[in-house]
Structure 1
Amino acid sequence: MIQFSRQERDAMSDALKAYFSEELDRELGQFEAEFLLDFVSRELGAYFYNRGLYDAQSLLSGRIDELGDAILALEQTPGSN
């Protein structure tokens, strides 16, 4: 399970409490919000984490392709100094 700092957990709990209040007309206490946060992290967190990894891999792959193209553009033909 991903570990978050107390400040991060508080911010996420506050976001959950605000969402429940505004969208669902339901008040969540701090304990309920943290309990829900733990559930979401445990049961759904891997999906978000993996998507972040796939996105980073895709971005890095594109940058490596760009670097390869830049290197090829520097290539010189022998005897054409």
Structure 2
Amino acid sequence: MAELELSKDEREQLVRVIQDHMRDELEQDIGNMEATLLLDRLVGPLGDTFYNKGLRDAAALLSRRADDMADELYTMEKIIKTDR
């Protein structure tokens, strides 16, 4: 699996989110460099975790859809009448 790559705009937005959180919740002002370092440290494990969760959610959705299609196909079957 490739490394999670963020666009410049995504990185800047996330850096601001980190800075806002640190200021609002922890009363700590941090600069762009510190917030970027924190983002770089967390992106790997958090990104992988959310990616895996997304894959599991997608697999569950596909499984439900496949079950629905199988049910619909079953209802379309014709009863075979025999003359016995």
Band the TM-score falls in, shorter-chain normalisation? 0.7 to 0.9
Please state how far the C-alpha of 1:78 moved relative to its aligned partner. Answer: 3.2
Larger Rg: 2
Query: Deviation string for 1:12-34 (max 9, x for gaps)?
Result: 11111111111111112112111
**TM-score, structure 2 as length reference:** 0.80
For 1:2 and 1:47, locate their aligned partners in 2 and report how far apart those are by CA, in whole Å: 11
Partner residue in 2 for 1:68: 70
Pairing 1:1-81 to 2, within 5 Å after superposition: 1-78=3-80
Please state how far the C-alpha of 1:57 moved relative to its aligned partner. Answer: 0.9
Aligned residues: 79
Please state how far the C-alpha of 1:2 moved relative to its aligned partner. Answer: 0.2
Please state how far the C-alpha of 1:53 moved relative to its aligned partner. Answer: 1.0
| Structure 2 unaligned blocks of 5 or more | none
2:11 maps to a residue whose letter is: R
RMSD: 1.5
| Structure 1 unaligned blocks of 5 or more | none
